[in-house]
Structure 1
């Protein structure tokens, strides 16, 4: 079975007997980090995962297109080998409504894989991988999911506190509301004191 819809080379680790080990990794390690850094996307309540390895290189997948993961939090571990290229590029966290919007300069981030090192990020953090230009790169990925967060997200008709564009829209609405109130007050001869 393919590890996901974008990668052809790799394996689903849950299918080869590693499900309980990966669940323990999620519960004993990732959940504690997520509770601190990703509480706004269910970091306190991960209850399922999808674990897989992917391989990049000559006669394999070379790069990974721009996407978001099917997870609340993703662990990406570089298992190594000799390689060059394959840098991750990040372009801001977005909800479904804003997933295709442009990134702002402050949202642009590049990460170079180092064998034995890992990166943890929100699943909705838009990202991709540049081409692996030489050698072979192997990564272990663990998509951590929260049924509680996914259910709450269905009923949230407001803005997503973790989406950069939702935050900007909320700020703009607030600024507009204050400006309109100020205009009405001044039109009636009232003065606002800050």
Structure 2
């Protein structure tokens, strides 16, 4: 199955990732880890909030009819901000449909709600980029793909703009002869 998953990554996932996930190395996916997971009776029921050891993850629902098992997403985070609260625009729910797939950043925090009836079977393919992983060893102040880093950056920019406006106002005000 390894060669089939390699071909899937090279011919399909890499092309999509170049467009949608370039900021996390989607243009340079060069390894993968694939596995099947089952949820339901005598199996895992649910999965708490987590991230994958991947830059891009493909999640294909292989199962038959089932109930429950929805994915809930809570924003993309770097290690520094893993426990930060999700912003309203980062909250997303996804219901699996047999034969359908979802592709997302591996660092997208998410969980799976309980599978309440029957059994859900999913194929997961974690796609990795050695280039991105090497670059990640040398982080900058803000990680572009982390939602909390982006919020902090916007806040710093707004503070700088406000300070500059205040300084300009004070300069103009102090230049007015009384």
What's the TM-score, normalizing by structure 1? 0.87
Alpha-carbon separation, structure 1, partners of 2:170 and 2:19:
47
Shift of 1:110: 0.5
Q: Which residue pairs with 2:116 in the alignment?
A: 133
Equivalence for 1:51: 34
Q: Which residue of 2 aligns with 1:154?
A: 137
1:171 aligns with 2:154: yes
**Is there any run of 5+ residues in structure 1 with no aligned partner, and where?**
1-17
Which stretches of structure 1, 4 residues or longer, exceed 4 Å deviation after superposition?
Answer: none
CA positional deviation for 1:190: 6.9
For CA contacts below 8 A with separation 6 or more, give which structure has more relative contact order: 2
- Once residues 155 and 136 of structure 1 are traced to their aligned partners in structure 2, the CA distance between those partners, rounded to angstroms, is 43
Partner of 1:145: 128
Provide, for residues 95-115 of structure 1, a one-character-per-residue CA deviation record: whole Å limited to 9, x for no partner. 111111111111111100000
Q: Deviation string for 1:61-118 (max 9, x for gaps)?
A: 0001100111000000000122110000001111111111111111111100000000
Among candidates 93, 104, 111, match of residue 94 of structure 2: 111
Please report how far the alpha carbon of residue 157 of structure 1 lies from its aligned counterpart in structure 2 after TM superposition: 2.1
Higher share in helix: 2
Distance in 2 (CA, whole Å) between partners of 1:140 and 1:190 is: 65
Deviations 1:44-74 (A, max 9, x none): 0000011000011111100011001110000
**Matched residue count:** 174
Gaps of 5+ in 2: none
Q: TM-score, normalised by structure 2?
A: 0.95
